[in-house]
Structure 1
Amino acid sequence: MKKLKYLFLLFLGFTNAQETISLEQCYQLSRENYPLIKKQELIKKSEQYTIENALKGWLPQINIVGQATYQNEVTELPIKLPNISVDPLSKDQYKVYADVSQTIYDGGNIKNQKKLAQAQAEIQSQQTEVELDKLKERINQLYFGILQTDKQLAQLQLTKSDINEGIKKAEAQLKNGVIFRSNLDVLKAELVKNEQREIELKSVKQTYLQMLSFFIKRNLDENTQLQTPEKTLVTETNNRSELKLFDAQKTLIEAQKKLVNTKNTPKLGAFFQGGYGKPGFNMLKNEFDTFYMAGVRLNIPISGFYTQKNELQLLNNQSQDVEIQRENFLFNQNFTEIQQKKDLDKIQNLIDKDDELITLRKSIKNASLAQLENGVITTNDYLREVNAEEQAVLTKISHEIQYLLTQYNLKANLNN
């Protein structure tokens, strides 16, 4: 029976265990559940279809042509031969035929179309990644907001405990007629004020939890335990998707240049025409007949050279514009990085001073509690020292969360 009871209590402990979640899990879940992530699959499919269509340029191209015409004059022999009668062609003529062409050499056109499709898909993919990267900073605001609220609530309980301790001392003094009831009421009023703050903080936390739940598609409540991230070492490696986007844009421009050049290269192909009509290829035979023709066709475009130079120059301008955008992005990013690193140094120095101040404030508060018990100071004096210690602790909490938030925003800024 004792064993069954133990198992039941163990099971109950598991069911009541707090759910824990980390910042990295929130990053991953928010990415997986963000509607824009679905676009990546569509981009891959579009790339596949475009490449397949480009490669089909190597398949035979077939056209079926039907034609019926009437002309006002036909070819006739200018002389008449004795004992030979040649019927003139009919002015109404008909034919239906198939035209089949097969590319043998296209100057690299299809290959470059494939590269162009890949570059365009990569640009779309990186544009999506740029938007997805912005999720991290939004998650940071919510996640660290919850952590700060939790720490403030924990400190509030300690402050309430100190006030309750003062109330006990004041009640004893009231019974002995040492103080007035108003002195006791001051402490009780401050306790009610702290209970109001507790309601406000819990409401703020609930709002943050609901917003974070919306992003990660997981139900979070007040029992959910958020792991406090460790201070992390941010590397100098810059993995921002914007840089990959600029690279993809340069790749696209290079692919477009190659297409401009291949547009003007010679093309070689085989062709076949076969059909049925009146007349056939024998123009002296005025009747329906089959006909066919096969051969090799060489196409050397010349007119494309008229605009080739300007087209390439336009693409060079676009390439320079991409480089300007890259420089501008890196300039702004480096500026932000310098500012964030300076903020980290400043906040760490403040935290070191916070520890000194809290130690002093705690010592002063403990001494004032003894003075209150001995009637040396009033409840207002004691309350002032309690609030001073609380403010020192809350300031440190704010600095610690601010440090982590700045550090992880810096990490998100470099995407590493």
Structure 2
Amino acid sequence: MNTSINKGITKYSFILLLFLPVVLVGQRTLTLDDCFDRVTKNYPLAKQSVLLQSQAELDIATLKKDKLPRLDVNAQATYQSDVTHLPIELPNISVTPPNKDQYRATLDASLLIYNGGLIDATAKVKESNSKVSEQEVNVNLYALKNKVNQLYLSLLLLQENRSLLAAKEKQLQSRIEEVQAGVLYGTLLPSSADALQVELLNIKQKYAEIDYSKKGLTQRLALLIGSDLSADAILQTPMVPTENQTDSQRPELTLFELKKAQIDLSKQQLTKSKLPKLNAFAQGGYGNPGLNMLDNSFKTFYMTGLKLNWNIFDWNKTKGQKQSLEINKEIINTQKETFELNTNLELVQLQSEIDKLQDFIDMDSEIIRIRENMVKSAASQLKNGVITSSAYITEFTDLYEAKSNLALHKTQLLLLQIQYQLTNGTYGKY
């Protein structure tokens, strides 16, 4: 039985070790969408959304407490210069005037019966204010995605350049081995390998330059998205999806609609504030005098009833406030139109840059094809001692520059394509 268990443990341990490298590699892989998700969750501004929601819940809960009964304890002690007394004397009747020092303590209770739904309307305005504030946070977080996009693709370009350097180093090392073989057999001069060795050192130097640049960009991206990033993180090239959406998902457009909804709710609140308000009240107390002002002694007393309040004429104050809110709504409409116009202008410029880069990439591919043939010819000539190693390096470096230009233009194109969709509000799901 123990043998079976040991075999089972060994089997599962082997499976775990088999998949462990895959897991470790996966942990070092980073995508642009991962960075977008992290910046919207970890950026300090993102914490405001939760705080705003909590604040709105507290404000609304506090506001609705006005529907509950209210209890107040009141007490007073006074001394007055004169008191109520009869200006005449009645025969056979002795009336003692109240004391000039008077005392009263009461417990007052009131309950809102009807206020036209003003409390609920005010609660909706509070909730709307919170939604507007939360959407403003979303707008600011959305703007950060362009910064993330630029940093991510800058790192991706460095990653591509390092791959090109590695390929260049490998090819150059092969040329060095061929030249060294020619020197060994006396077909080439010993100095033929010197220029190649210098170029190999230049590649080592460029490695260091790329690594330092990558370290700085990685630190900036890590700070922006609020996550630790390892220096050897592998960045995946983002795929730009085909735009199937026709409607923009920009958070600014949602913000404009929320602001207009906020105005409509404020107008409803003003309408509710004009309706009558009915309260029930009760009062119990102990004082000297009580309700009977002619009884000059401490007495208990109580009263209860209803109270109606209705402001039937406010000199068109509410009407003016509603007209002001309508003007605010028109202002928001002009802001939306301005935003859409500026967005379209930016999209036209981006599309022009995208078209230009696509043409550049086509030309880069043709240049690389020609230069690869030139480098093959130069390599053959170098091997046979027809040209010097310096002449070969010139052709070799020109090919590398052409490939670097292609990588640069492809990365720039990708950056602009993503920026176009971010500007248009059609990238991913937001």
Give, in angstroms, the shift of residue 15 of structure 1: 7.5
- The structural deviation recorded for 1:11 is 6.9
For 1:343-362, list aligned pairs within 5 A: 343-362=353-372
Match of 2:321 in 1: 311
State yes or no: 1:256 paired with 2:266. yes
Cα distance in structure 2, aligned partners of 1:224 and 1:218: 12
Q: Does 1:377 align with 2:367?
A: no
Deviation at 1:113, TM superposition (A): 0.9
Distance apart, 1:283 and its partner CA? 2.3
Alignment of 1:178-257 (within 5 A): 180-234=189-243, 235-257=245-267
**What is the number of residues matched between the two proteins?**
415
Contact map agreement 2:156 2:235 (CA 8 A) in 1: yes
Letter in 2 for 1:66: A
TM-score by length of 1: 0.91
Q: 304-313 or 23-32: which moved more?
A: 304-313
1:23 aligns with 32
1:322 and 2:328 equivalent?
Answer: no
* 2:107–2:285 CA contact under 8 A, matched in 1: yes
What residue identity is the alignment partner of 1:32? K
Structure 1 CA distance for aligned equivalents of residues 107 and 299 of structure 2: 15
Q: Deviations over 1:232-288 (max 9, x none)?
A: 223343222222222222222223323333333221221222211122222222222
Tell me, in whole angstroms, the C-alpha distance in 2 between the residues paired with 1:221 and 1:57.
Answer: 55
The superposition leaves residues 305-335 of structure 1 with CA deviations (integer Å, 9 ceiling, x where unpaired) of 3533332333233222222222222221121
Amino acid at match of 1:115: K
Moved more, 170-179 or 181-190: 170-179
- The answer to whether the Cα contact below 8 Å between 2:152 and 2:221 also exists between their aligned partners in 1 is yes
Change (3 A) 1:9 1:132: closer
Q: Distance in 1 between matches of 2:185 and 2:47?
A: 74
Q: Is residue 128–residue 261 contact of structure 2 (8 Å, CA) maintained in 1? A: yes
Q: Which residue of 2 aligns with 1:167?
A: 176
> C-alpha distance in 1, partners of 2:20/2:142?
41
The 8 Å contact of residues 340 and 406 in structure 1, kept in 2 or not, is answered as yes
Query: 1:269 aligns to what?
Result: 279
- Choose 389-398 or 340-349, whichever is displaced more: 340-349
Alignment match of 1:392 (pick from 387, 402, 409): 402
User: Shift of residue 101 of structure 1?
Assistant: 1.9
Q: 1:288 aligns with which of 290, 298, 301?
A: 298
Kindly provide the amino acid, as one letter, of the partner of residue 395 in structure 1: N
Helix, strand or coil at the partner of 1:305: coil
1:5, 1:271 → 2: CA distance?
77
- Whether 1:68 aligns to 2:68 is no
Letter in 1 for 2:89: K
Please report how far the alpha carbon of residue 198 of structure 1 lies from its aligned counterpart in structure 2 after TM superposition: 1.4
> Residue type of the partner of 1:155?
L
Task: Go from structure 1 to structure 2 and tell me whether the alpha carbon gap of 1:275 and 1:13 turns closer, same or farther (over 3 Å shift).
Answer: closer
- Alpha-carbon shift at residue 193 of structure 1 (Å): 1.4
Offset at residue 46 of structure 1 (A) = 0.6
Paired with 2:20 and 2:304, the residues of 1 have a C-alpha distance of 86
Q: Unaligned 5+ residue runs, structure 2?
A: 1-9
2:166 maps to what in 1? 157
- Residue in structure 1 matching 2:90, options 72, 78, 81: 81
Whole-Å Cα distance in 2 between the matches of residues 17 and 78 of structure 1?
A: 105
Q: CA deviation at 1:68?
A: 2.0
Distance 1:168 1:4 in 2: 47
Give, in whole Å, the separation in 1 of the partners of 2:20 and 2:73.
78
In structure 1, distance between residues paired with 2:170 and 2:53: 60
What CA distance in whole angstroms lies between the structure 1 residues aligned with 2:77 and 2:11?
Answer: 99
Contact 1:264 1:305 in 2 (8 A): no
What's the offset of the Cα at 1:342? Answer: 2.5
Q: TM-score, normalised by structure 2?
A: 0.88
The CA distance in 2 between the partners of 1:5 and 1:127, in whole Å, is 51
* 8 Å CA contact 1:169, 1:372 repeated in 2: no
Amino acid of the structure 2 residue aligned with 1:34: Y
For 1:146, the aligned partner's letter is L
Q: Structure 1 residues 8-17 or 262-271, which shifts more? A: 8-17
- The separation in 2 between residues aligned to 1:100 and 1:232, in whole angstroms, is 65
Q: Does 1:37 align with 2:46?
A: yes
CA–CA separation in structure 2 for the residues paired with 1:231 and 1:222: 25
* Identity value in percent: 34
Cα distance between partner residues in 2 of 1:333 and 1:4: 56
Distance 1:260 1:313 in 2: 11
Q: Secondary structure at the match of 1:371?
A: helix
Matched, 1:93 2:102: yes
Counterpart-to-counterpart distance in 2, 1:171 and 1:26: 48
In structure 2, distance between residues paired with 1:412 and 1:283: 79
Q: State the SS of the aligned residue for 2:341.
A: helix
User: What is the distance in 2 between the residues matched to 1:15 and 1:88?
Assistant: 97
For residues 108-152 of structure 1, the C-alpha deviation after alignment (integer angstroms, 9 at most, x for no partner) is: 210111011101111211111112112322221222122111111
Tell me what 2:153 maps to: 144
Task: Decide whether aligned partners of structure 1 residues 288 and 260 sit closer, same or farther in structure 2, where only a CA change above 3 A counts.
Answer: same
Alpha-carbon RMSD? 2.6
Q: Cα–Cα, structure 1 residues 410 and 4, in superposed 2: closer, same or farther, change >3 Å? A: closer
Rounded to whole Å, the distance in 2 between the matches of 1:65 and 1:303 is: 33
- Change in Cα spacing, 1:79 to 1:11, as seen in structure 2 (3 Å) is closer
Describe the SS at the equivalent of 1:103: strand
CA distance in 1 between counterparts of 2:14 and 2:368 reads 44
